[in-house]
Structure 1
């Protein structure tokens, strides 16, 4: 699951925001806007977390909304939109690569602005210049 979502997130960097990136498995220690979205696959719920710092979300607002000084609510909305774009793309990638494999996604939920301290099984940090996107997954999450 993480590899499919990572591919979708790197596609987001390449095609939607056209920014160079690098991958690492190092968990960043910084204040980030954090969202989650549930993926339902074969009666299992996987919780996907997407987190980003203010700087990246502001850059996304400049790219998509042509706004260069967004308030906190707009930054939250941009995080939810980015989460939807990445996980929605992952759903399409999974269907194209695995044929019959299918999963359903729910609506993303804003969680917090804080250091990332949620339980997870795997994660990837996508560095984009001096900023980043964190994607983490809690497999078979009953909540």
Structure 2
């Protein structure tokens, strides 16, 4: 649940109690997590010092870029786009934080922000582990694919 409470300028609070329900088979979620864990480990981000899964993305013609990832206990997404309008101002030939980027993709600025935020958010917390997928069901040729 992303939003649990909204407070306006006068201090009035409106709460939104969670109404969670499982919509994805747990075994399928475990298999997807395994794939997304591999994506993170094989990226330039190299993880956050504990089990995590994630995936970068970019909009058409670099109009936006994002990175979304999670641990067993915490999820975080970072999305970037120019507030003046992504169509007129794509994330191409831009300078951010003193670094020039030919183009911003999901593993560059959003991925680095995600990694730093997740590393800090999980620092000092107990590490939990993902549930391993049923490789007989979802393994395919993960470890020994023919060429």
Q: If the length of structure 1 is used for normalisation, what is the TM-score? A: 0.31
Query: Greater strand share, 1 or 2?
Result: 1
Q: If the length of structure 2 is used for normalisation, what is the TM-score? A: 0.30
Query: Greater helix share, 1 or 2?
Result: 1
